[in-house]
Structure 1
Amino acid sequence: MQIDFHHGVTYVCARLAGFEHRDASIVAHCAQYVDDSTQAGLIRFDNGAMFDRISSAHKLLDYRNFKELANHQVWIPFHFLPGNGGLPPGQDPPGTFIEKLICRPNSPVAQAMVAECIDQRYRSYGLHRLGITLHVFADTWAHQGFAGVSHEINSAKDLVDGDGNPDQSLKNRLTGFFIGGALPLGHGTVLSNPDQPHLRWGYIDGRGRRVWRDNPKDFLEAADEICRAMQRYRLGDPDASAPGLPTADRAKIAELFASLRGTGDSRHQQWLARIAEGHFSFGPAQVRYVAKGSGSWKQQALQIETENNRDPRLPIYSPEFLTSNWKLFHDALRAHHFFITHDLLPRFGICVA
Structure 2
Amino acid sequence: MQKDMHYYGTYVMARAAGIGQRKAQVIASAAQFVDDNAASKGIEFKDGGALQSRATAHHWYHLSNIDTDDQRYVWVPFHFLPGNEGEKFSERLVCRKNSGIAQAMVANHLDHADKIDFSDELIGIAAHVYADTFSHYGFSGVSSRLNQIDNDSFKFHDIPENTEKYIKKRQKKFKRNYSKEAGLLANIKSWFAETLSGALGHGAACTFPDRPYLKWEFEYDHAGCSGLRDNPKTFLEACEALHGMFVRYTEAKEGVKDSEVIPFDKIRSQIKSIIEFKGYEEEGSEPTEDARINRWKKAVAEDNILGAHEVIPEYLGDEWLKEKSRLHGQKLSQSVKEKDVYQFYQAASYHRHYILRNLLPENNLIVS
Q: TM-score range by the shorter chain?
A: 0.7 to 0.9
Note if 1:138 corresponds to 2:131. Answer: yes
- 2:197 is matched with which residue: 176, 183, 190? 183
Give the Cα–Cα distance (whole angstroms) in 1 for the partners of residues 118 and 197 of structure 2: 35
Preserved contact between residue 45 and residue 329 of structure 2 (Cα < 8 Å):
yes
Q: How far apart are 1:269 and its partner, in Å?
A: 3.7
Aligned AA (1:121): A
Q: 1:315 to 1:264 in 2, by over 3 A?
A: farther
Preserved contact between residue 27 and residue 127 of structure 1 (Cα < 8 Å):
yes
Unmatched tracts of structure 1, length 5 or more: 86-92, 238-242, 305-312
- 2:300 is matched with which residue: 258, 267, 275? 275
Aligned counterpart, 2:156: 161
Q: Alignment partner of 1:161: what SS?
A: strand
Give the Cα–Cα distance (whole angstroms) in 1 for the partners of residues 35 and 288 of structure 2: 16
Q: Alignment partner of 1:18: what SS?
A: coil
- 1:214 is matched with which residue: 200, 207, 230? 230
Aligned AA (2:349): R
Q: Deviations over 1:94-142 (max 9, x none)?
A: 3x21110000010000000000000111210001000001100000010
Give the Cα–Cα distance (whole angstroms) in 1 for the partners of residues 356 and 64 of structure 2: 19
Aligned counterpart, 1:40: 40
Preserved contact between residue 42 and residue 53 of structure 1 (Cα < 8 Å):
yes
Q: Alignment partner of 1:58: what SS?
A: coil
Aligned AA (1:259): F
Aligned counterpart, 1:337: 352
Aligned AA (1:160): K
Aligned counterpart, 2:269: 251
Unmatched tracts of structure 2, length 5 or more: 186-195, 254-260, 280-286
Q: 1:195 to 1:244 in 2, by over 3 A?
A: farther
- 1:235 is matched with which residue: 234, 247, 251? 251
Aligned counterpart, 1:297: 320
Q: Deviations over 1:308-345 (max 9, x none)?
A: xxxxx824547442111000000000000000000000
Give the Cα–Cα distance (whole angstroms) in 1 for the partners of residues 316 and 110 of structure 2: 27
Aligned AA (1:16): A
Aligned counterpart, 1:310: none
Q: Which structure is higher in RCO with an 8 Å CA cutoff and minimum separation 6?
A: 2
Note if 1:348 corresponds to 2:363. Answer: yes
Aligned counterpart, 2:106: 114
Q: Deviations over 1:48-79 (max 9, x none)?
A: 32111111001353445542221111100000
Give the Cα–Cα distance (whole angstroms) in 2 for the partners of residues 320 and 138 of structure 1: 33
Q: 1:83 to 1:32 in 2, by over 3 A?
A: same
Q: 1:170 to 1:297 in 2, by over 3 A?
A: closer
Q: How far apart are 1:169 and its partner, in Å?
A: 5.2
Moved over 6 A (4+): 164-168
Higher deviation after alignment, 339-348 or 206-215? 206-215
Give the Cα–Cα distance (whole angstroms) in 1 for the partners of residues 303 and 44 of structure 2: 43
Preserved contact between residue 79 and residue 132 of structure 2 (Cα < 8 Å):
yes
Give the Cα–Cα distance (whole angstroms) in 2 for the partners of residues 18 and 270 of structure 1: 21
Give the Cα–Cα distance (whole angstroms) in 2 for the partners of residues 46 and 270 of structure 1: 46
Aligned AA (2:299): R
Aligned counterpart, 2:193: none
- Percent identity, please: 32
TM-score by length of 1: 0.86
Q: How far apart are 1:4 and its partner, in Å?
A: 0.4
Give the Cα–Cα distance (whole angstroms) in 1 for the partners of residues 143 and 264 of structure 2: 40
Preserved contact between residue 42 and residue 52 of structure 1 (Cα < 8 Å):
yes
Preserved contact between residue 56 and residue 74 of structure 1 (Cα < 8 Å):
yes
Aligned counterpart, 2:92: 100
Preserved contact between residue 149 and residue 197 of structure 2 (Cα < 8 Å):
no
Aligned AA (1:337): R
Aligned counterpart, 1:307: none
Q: 1:319 to 1:347 in 2, by over 3 A?
A: closer
- Over the residues paired in the alignment, what is the CA RMSD in angstroms? 2.4
Aligned AA (2:102): A
Q: How far apart are 1:172 and its partner, in Å?
A: 3.7
Give the Cα–Cα distance (whole angstroms) in 1 for the partners of residues 119 and 170 of structure 2: 40
Q: Deviations over 1:139-162 (max 9, x none)?
A: 001000000111111112211011
Give the Cα–Cα distance (whole angstroms) in 1 for the partners of residues 154 and 17 of structure 2: 37
Aligned counterpart, 1:285: 311
Give the Cα–Cα distance (whole angstroms) in 2 for the partners of residues 60 and 264 of structure 1: 18
Aligned AA (1:289): Y
